[in-house]
């Protein structure tokens, strides 16, 4: 991991030197757009709708448009805004853990102690644990002032950026205000159903089946030789060949992948079914 911010947690007269690291990463297979005919990469162009010319990146600026007026904002305009550089992660409040609504949480970051004697870091971590408190902090990240929570995750302090209060939408769905009568028997049966599915949450048990199957599909295409020969694709002449035996090999590889996936899912379903049956018997 590479640190994306270095500074200090500041509360009162206490300063805790830390480095900030992204706590998550995207596991999706990285893909890009190509021309179906020859496999060439598709490059996006920024074309001005007024003059019709392609505009270079250095000549592009941001603007605000309300329908009647268009205001152009330059780099100098943004630099004048009160964000700037700040190496402090300022603690504003300490609040009970259960007062943080998950809907407000955004991106997560780990905090590494950088002091040779990390006593202040350990003290803050221990204090948050013992008091069941979460710190509300403010920091400047990539020139933007952000609100965040600072909390304990195992042995590590971490922050999670927050949405501002006016970014959470107000809703008034008619259905949630319904006065439909729920009987005691219905509530009891519903509780039994919940109990039959109840167990401890273990994130490692769940996998992204779509991305796994996509990776298998790509591997199967590579192994069968169904890949684009860039040199041939961009040669003077394009040879159109009839489908070869490689296609059959690919279909066999894909079918095996699908069969294996289905078999795995059936086994998992049987195990889940046994567990569910056992739990229903116990709760009855």
Taking only the tens place, the pLDDT of each residue in 166-175 is 999 998 888 8
Residue range 178-201: mean pLDDT, rounded: 89
The closest of 131, 129, 134 to 147, measured between CA atoms, is 134
pTM over cut 0.75: no
- 125 token code pair: 């971590």
CA angle (117 as vertex; 112, 121 as ends), nearest 5: 45
The pairing of strands 105-113 and 156-162 is antiparallel
Decide: helix, strand or coil at residue 20: strand
Token pair of 127, please?
Answer: 């204090």
Would the pLDDT of 208 be above 70?
Answer: yes
**DSSP structure class, residue 15:** E
Q: How confident is the model at residue 96 (pLDDT cuts 50, 70, 90)?
A: very high
Name the residue among 80, 81, 85, 84 with its Cα closest to residue 7: 85
- DSSP E strands in 97-132: the ranges are 105-113
Q: Given this model, what pLDDT does residue 49 score? A: 87
State pLDDT tens for residues 116-128: 888 899 999 999 9
Q: Are 264 and 258 in contact (CB under 8 A)?
A: no
Q: Which secondary-structure segment (H or E) carries 267?
A: helix 245-283
Torsion angle, alpha carbons of 145, 147, 150, 153, to 10: -100
Residues 92 and 120: their CA atoms lie apart, in Å, by 18
Neighbours of 202 (CB within 10 A): 7
- In this prediction, residues 145-174 reach a mean pLDDT of 93
């Amino acid at each position: 991991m590479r640190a994306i911010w270095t500074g200090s947690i500041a509360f009162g007269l206490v300063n805790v030197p830390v480095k900030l690291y992204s706590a998550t990463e995207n596991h999706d297979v990285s893909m890009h757009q190509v021309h179906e005919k020859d496999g060439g990469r598709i490059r996006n162009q920024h074309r001005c709708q007024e003059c019709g010319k392609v505009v270079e990146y250095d000549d592009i600026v941001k603007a605000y448009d309300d329908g009647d007026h268009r205001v152009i904002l330059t780099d100098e305009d943004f630099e004048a805004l009160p964000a700037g550089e700040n190496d402090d992660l300022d603690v504003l409040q300490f609040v009970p853990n259960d007062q943080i609504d998950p809907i407000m949480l955004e991106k997560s970051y780990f905090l590494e102690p950088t002091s040779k004697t990390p006593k202040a870091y350990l003290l803050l971590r221990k204090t948050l644990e013992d008091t069941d408190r979460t710190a509300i902090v403010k920091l400047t990240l990539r020139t933007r002032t952000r609100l965040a929570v600072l909390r304990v995750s195992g042995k590590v302090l971490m922050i999670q950026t927050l949405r501002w209060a006016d970014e959470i939408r107000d809703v008034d769905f008619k259905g949630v205000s319904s006065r439909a009568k729920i009987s005691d028997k219905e509530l009891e049966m519903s509780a039994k159903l919940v109990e039959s599915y109840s167990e401890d949450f273990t994130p490692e048990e769940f996998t992204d089946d779509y991305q796994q199957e996509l990776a298998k599909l790509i591997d199967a295409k590579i192994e069968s030789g169904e890949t684009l020969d860039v040199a041939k694709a961009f040669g003077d002449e394009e040879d159109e060949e009839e489908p070869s035996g490689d296609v059959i090999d690919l279909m066999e590889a894909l079918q095996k992948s699908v069969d294996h996936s289905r078999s795995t899912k059936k086994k998992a379903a049987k195990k889940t079914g046994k567990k569910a049956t056992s739990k229903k018997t116990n709760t009855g």
